[in-house]
């Protein structure tokens, strides 16, 4: 038996020793063999997978209102026509629009086709085909603003656009204050509210989200831009095949027929049928890659300062309001306790992102209209960020304080009552100070969490640390150095608080032992 065991172990050892050789042989064979190209993969599977975001809505790609689950839109038809020309079928892959390029690079789909504008930054990271739509960057202003006659007339004024868009690139070269947004409706809402002096975006977006409001009007067409299909940089064969398919459907008029069905055809689209390689070369002229400089580093410091200021003010509000909510739930009359309980459940049960949107785009304009103030200010976003985060975290602080109060022996309140103290006096002098000391580590942990959650305020145009990182990363065509600097600054802000929290927890443990 013993000899058999030794023999078995020796045999296993020999097999294990062969594994590196087998792996090496496989690697050599794979290097020497033929590697399937992206075009060959698409033709073998018979499917061209294209990424987009249905949240962009009509007329790009969206769900058929009369037939839920069925996708329609002019880009759906263009994708089907291109795939048919290539002898395959098109398959849509849902993806968040802001992450389309990183998802393409990861291999989540074969190409991007979702209103992706050709910009210098993108042209340096992906391959673009010839365009399938020519748009115009249109400046929209308020009708009652007689001074806003052109983009040049808005010098030193606030102009909104989508971050990292074609219009963003135009505005960066102009002497205006650029306000970056995540969505297409929000800039026009701020323009109507008086928080902006103009909005520069693609004509499709301007027509469907801006010019539908009677108080807004088209001021001027600033520049032409292009929607094109994006492929991974190394997959030139697939990009060329799609380019040839687009050329074919444009030459026979099918492309413009699709655009006409969606009421977006115009004289600019005549260029698509006669598009040449020289036109593509001119479209793809890439500006020199920016380098990370001391100026970028200083902007990061400014972003960190905004993050810290928003977090400190919001936490101060949360602490004060949270304590009142906790006391109301435990010692207030039943109606007040019910209101406090509902508040806690409402703000804990709904996303803070939703709360920020409702506060900034819904409640604040309604309040201004109610008190007769016609226009908002550039400070509205900062105010909404502080109040929104403060109101949200107050619900969590209330539960921390309630737990701290419940940790105090009930006999202390009873003894205070016997001594003739009122409930409010006993709370102020005996219960709350002890409860606050018990809750302090939890409060410190929440402050650390708030520092990171402050990155959400970028959706209401506050340029804090994370937003500064994404803007800089696109500018310098790399997330590595901006990402590391951003992480380092967050760590520098939160680590001292972590040390404080652990020290407070240790001190509390010693005192309670």
Sheet of 47-52: strand order equals 89-94, 47-52, 111-112, 216-231, 127-142, 198-202, 158-162, 177-181
pLDDT of residue 307: 94
Ramachandran assignment for 408, one of left (phi > 0), alpha (psi -120 to 50 degrees), beta (any other): beta
> What's the burial of 280, exposed, middle or buried (CB within 10 Å: 0-12/13-18/19+)?
middle
Share of the chain above pLDDT 70, in %: 90
Q: What is the pLDDT of residues 478-490, one digit of tens each?
A: 778 888 998 999 9
Instruction: Count CB-CB contacts under 10 A for residue 17.
Output: 9
pLDDT of residue 29: 45
Identify whether the C-beta of residue 156 lies closer than 8 Å to the C-beta of residue 176.
yes
Hey, what CATH class is 294-512 in? mainly alpha
CA dist 111 and 230 (Å) reads 6
Q: What is the pLDDT of residues 131-187, one digit of tens each?
A: 999 999 999 999 999 999 999 999 999 999 988 889 998 998 899 999 988 888 899
Of the candidates 446, 453, 460, the one whose C-alpha atom is nearest the C-alpha of residue 395 is 446
C-beta contacts of 482-487 below 8 A and 24+ residues apart: 482/292, 482/296, 482/300, 485/297, 485/300, 486/300
pLDDT of residue 14: 59
Q: What is the pLDDT of residues 71-120, one digit of tens each?
A: 999 999 999 999 999 999 999 999 988 789 889 998 999 999 999 999 88
Strands 158-162 and 198-202: parallel
Q: What is the pLDDT of residues 343-388, one digit of tens each?
A: 999 999 999 999 999 999 889 888 877 776 666 677 888 999 999 9
Mean pLDDT along residues 255-276: 95
Phi, psi for 128 (deg, rounded to 5): -110, 140
Phi, psi for 136 (deg, rounded to 5): -120, 135
Range among 13-17, 167-171, 180-184, 498-502 rated most confident:
167-171
CA dist 118 and 169 (Å) reads 11
Identify whether the C-beta of residue 460 lies closer than 8 Å to the C-beta of residue 364.
no
CA 102, 106, 109, 110 torsion: positive or negative? positive
Mean pLDDT along residues 260-265: 95
CA dist 252 and 262 (Å) reads 18
pLDDT at 436 over 70: yes
pLDDT of residue 17: 58
> What's the burial of 212, exposed, middle or buried (CB within 10 Å: 0-12/13-18/19+)?
exposed
Give the residue with greater pLDDT, 497 vs 338.
Answer: 338
CA dist 207 and 203 (Å) reads 6
pLDDT of residue 23: 58
pLDDT at 508 over 70: no
pLDDT at 24 over 70: no
Give the residue with greater pLDDT, 1 vs 440.
Answer: 440
Identify whether the C-beta of residue 218 lies closer than 8 Å to the C-beta of residue 243.
no
pTM: 0.77
pLDDT at 25 over 70: no
Share of the chain above pLDDT 90, in %: 55
Q: What is the pLDDT of residues 313-334, one digit of tens each?
A: 999 999 999 999 999 999 989 9
The CA-based angle 360-366-370, given to 5 degrees, is: 145
Give the residue with greater pLDDT, 161 vs 24.
Answer: 161
pLDDT of residue 22: 55
Q: What is the pLDDT of residues 198-238, one digit of tens each?
A: 999 999 999 999 999 999 999 999 999 999 999 999 999 99
Instruction: Count CB-CB contacts under 10 A for residue 88.
Output: 20
Q: Lowest mean pLDDT: which of 193-197, 280-284, 340-344?
A: 280-284
Average pLDDT over the chain, rounded to an integer: 87
**What pLDDT band is residue 4 in, cutting at 50, 70 and 90?**
very low
Q: Lowest mean pLDDT: which of 140-144, 220-224, 278-282, 436-440?
A: 436-440
Give the residue with greater pLDDT, 3 vs 268.
Answer: 268
pLDDT of residue 294: 80
pLDDT of residue 337: 94
Q: Cα-atom radius of gyration of the chain, to the nearest Å?
A: 30
pLDDT of residue 432: 86
Of the candidates 507, 471, 485, 503, the one whose C-alpha atom is nearest the C-alpha of residue 98 is 471
Where exactly are the structural domains of the chain? 294-512
């Amino acid at each position: 038996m013993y000899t058999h065991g030794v023999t078995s172990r020796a045999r296993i050892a020999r097999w294990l020793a062969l594994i590196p050789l087998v792996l090496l042989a496989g690697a050599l064979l794979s290097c020497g063999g033929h590697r399937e190209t992206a075009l060959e993969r698409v033709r073998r599977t018979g499917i061209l997978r294209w990424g987009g975001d249905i949240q962009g809505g009509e007329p790009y790609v969206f769900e058929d209102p009369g037939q839920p689950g069925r996708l329609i839109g002019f880009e759906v038809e263009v994708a089907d026509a291109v795939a048919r020309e290539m002898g395959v079928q098109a398959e849509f892959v849902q993806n968040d629009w802001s992450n389309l390029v990183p998802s393409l690079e990861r291999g989540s789909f074969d190409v991007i086709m979702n209103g992706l504008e050709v910009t210098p930054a993108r042209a340096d990271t992906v391959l673009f085909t010839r365009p399938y739509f020519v748009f115009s960057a249109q400046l929209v202003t308020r009708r009652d603003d007689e001074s806003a006659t052109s983009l040049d007339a808005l010098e030193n004024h606030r102009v909104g656009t989508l971050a990292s868009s074609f219009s963003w690139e135009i505005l960066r070269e102009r002497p205006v204050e650029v306000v970056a947004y995540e969505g297409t409706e929000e800039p026009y809402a701020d323009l109507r509210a008086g928080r902006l002096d103009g909005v520069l975006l693609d004509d499709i977006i301007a027509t469907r989200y801006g010019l539908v409001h009677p108080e807004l009007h088209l001021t001027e067409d600033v520049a032409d831009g292009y929607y094109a299909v994006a492929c991974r940089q190394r997959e030139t064969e697939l990009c060329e095949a799609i380019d040839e398919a687009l050329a074919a459907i444009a030459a026979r008029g099918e492309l413009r027929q699709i655009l006409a069905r969606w009421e977006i055809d115009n004289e600019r689209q005549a260029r698509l049928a006669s598009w040449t390689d020289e036109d593509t070369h001119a479209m793809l002229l890439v500006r020199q890659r920016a380098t990370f400089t001391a100026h970028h580093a200083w902007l990061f410091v400014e972003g960190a300062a905004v993050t810290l200021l928003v977090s400190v003010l919001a936490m101060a509000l949360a602490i004060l309001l949270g304590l009142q909510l906790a006391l109301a739930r435990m010692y207030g009359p039943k109606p007040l306790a019910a209101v406090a309980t509902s508040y806690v459940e409402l703000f804990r049960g709904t996303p803070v992102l939703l709360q920020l949107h409702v506060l900034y785009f819904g409640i604040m304009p309604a309040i201004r209209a109610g008190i007769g103030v016609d226009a908002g200010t550039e400070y509205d976003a900062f105010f909404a960020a502080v109040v929104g985060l403060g109101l949200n975290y107050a619900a969590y602080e209330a539960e921390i304080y309630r737990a701290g109060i419940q940790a105090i022996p009930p006999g202390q309140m009873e003894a205070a009552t016997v001594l003739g103290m009122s409930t409010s006096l006993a709370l102020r002098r005996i219960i709350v100070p002890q409860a606050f000391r018990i809750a302090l580590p939890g409060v410190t942990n929440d402050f650390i969490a708030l520092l990171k959650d402050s990155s959400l305020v970028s959706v209401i145009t506050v340029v804090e640390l994370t937003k500064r990182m994404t803007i800089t990363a696109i500018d310098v065509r790399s997330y590595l150095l901006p990402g590391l600097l951003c992480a380092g600054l967050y760590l520098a802000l939160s680590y001292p608080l972590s040390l404080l929290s652990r020290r407070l927890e240790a001190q509390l443990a010693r005192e309670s032992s």
